[in-house]
A = this chain, B = another copy of it.
Amino acid sequence: MRLAVQRVPHFVGALILAISAGCASSGDPLPSWNEGVAKTALIDFVAAVTDEGGEDYVEPSERVAVFDNDGTLWVEYPMYTQFLFAMDRVKALAPEHPEWKTKQPFQGVLEGDLEAVAASGMKGLMEVIIETHSGMTAEEFEAEVSNWLATERHSRFDRPYTELVYQPQLELLTYLRSNGFKTFIVSGGGLAFMRPMTERVYGIPPEQVVGSSIVTEFELKDGQPALVRTPKLAFVNDKAGKPVGIYDYIGRRPILAFGNSDSDMQMVEYTIAGEGRRVGLFVHHTDADREYAYDRESHVGTLDKALDQAQARGWIIVDMDRDWGTVFPAR
């Protein structure tokens, strides 16, 4: 008996060693991705660009991967998170803005008349964003955003928005970084709205976030130097603005681009057009049970032309229902 007892630990130890070795050499880096075209394409791509002897090898410094945010890394349905934040800000700031009571789309927001809000079009929506995102210092705005993200919850899933990120994408970001990639967000969303959470949630530091911005001014406030956010648009990092944002902020053409809507087409097109091996992907929201199903006719994240052109252009459509074994991280 004593002999047997002494031997069990050795046997267990050897087994653990064998399992660990197996994980390190052949473990699945993307466990939430189902086997299929998309997963195979990603793993083959990473293997090819990191194979030092291979013809597709890419130096680590050039391994730039860009991801859209809304609908690609986190939920954007039924409404972009930043716009929900802006609507809450309208309500909070209303006492200081009596004129909003009779001015669309602010009136619509205050009265819960979302049709009136929608009727104001993109111009109206931008006005709501700009008015509610300016008139304070950079630090004050960051505190507002952090506080809102910490307390508000998604209407359907009853979880904070920062938990409604896609588990397969978290795995992909980690997988890319462990293979020498730098991962960037390239989103139409506001820089200052995203940055308070990207490092904690995605492991992407603020300086690797590219987004839309308003004009900020440096001034002395109560004798202290401060950055004050003004109600003036500086840059819209959307559609044809995305490759421009990539050039201005990153300064290198990516080799992997991941989006989910027609607004990401130019980013993917620009990425793919570079020399050497490249890959472009789109999330297709096909999963009404676990998340949402929307595409061509959707009011957010419209995916129409990109669906039509994907096959001819070699873009990969990631079908959420088919390709993702898990959607959200476990609670």
Q: Give the contacting residue for A247; candidates B209, B219, B227, B249; CB below 8 A.
A: B227
Given A182-B207, A209-B251, A270-B225, are A216 and B191 also a contact pair (CB < 8 Å)?
no
Contact: A208 with B207, CB < 8 Å?
yes
Name the CB-closest residue of B to A139.
Answer: B253
Given A182-B207, A249-B249, are A244 and B227 also a contact pair (CB < 8 Å)?
yes
Contact: B207 with A248, CB < 8 Å?
no
Contact: A217 with B191, CB < 8 Å?
no
CA distance A184 to B199 in the complex (A): 18
Specify which chain B residues have a CB less than 8 angstroms from the CB of A182 in the assembled complex: 207
Confirm or deny: A72 has a beta carbon within 8 angstroms of a beta carbon on chain B.
no
Contact: A251 with B213, CB < 8 Å?
no
Most B C-beta atoms less than 10 A away, residue of A213, A216, A243, A269: A243
Specify which chain B residues have a CB less than 8 angstroms from the CB of A283 in the assembled complex: none
Confirm or deny: A205 has a beta carbon within 8 angstroms of a beta carbon on chain B.
yes
User: In the assembled complex, how far is the CB of residue A7 from the closest CB belonging to chain B, in whole angstroms?
Assistant: 42
Interface string of A178-217 (1 = CB under 8 A from B): 0000101000000100010001000001111100010011
Name the CB-closest residue of B to A271.
Answer: B225
CA distance A266 to B219 in the complex (A): 9
User: In the assembled complex, how far is the CB of residue A207 from the closest CB belonging to chain B, in whole angstroms?
Assistant: 5
CA distance A280 to B116 in the complex (A): 52
Q: Give the contacting residue for A273; candidates B208, B209, B225; CB below 8 A.
A: B225
Specify which chain B residues have a CB less than 8 angstroms from the CB of A61 in the assembled complex: 199, 205
Contact: B218 with A250, CB < 8 Å?
no
Name the CB-closest residue of B to A228.
Answer: B244
Contact: B244 with A207, CB < 8 Å?
no
Contact: B217 with A244, CB < 8 Å?
yes
User: In the assembled complex, how far is the CB of residue A186 from the closest CB belonging to chain B, in whole angstroms?
Assistant: 12
CA distance A219 to B266 in the complex (A): 9
Contact: A207 with B250, CB < 8 Å?
yes
Within 8 A of B (CB), among A259-287: 266, 269-270, 273
Interface string of A9-28 (1 = CB under 8 A from B): 00000000000000000000
Confirm or deny: A149 has a beta carbon within 8 angstroms of a beta carbon on chain B.
no
Q: Which 9 A-B pairs have the closest CB atoms?
A: A206-B251, A218-B240, A218-B243, A195-B251, A207-B250, A225-B270, A225-B273, A225-B269, A216-B244
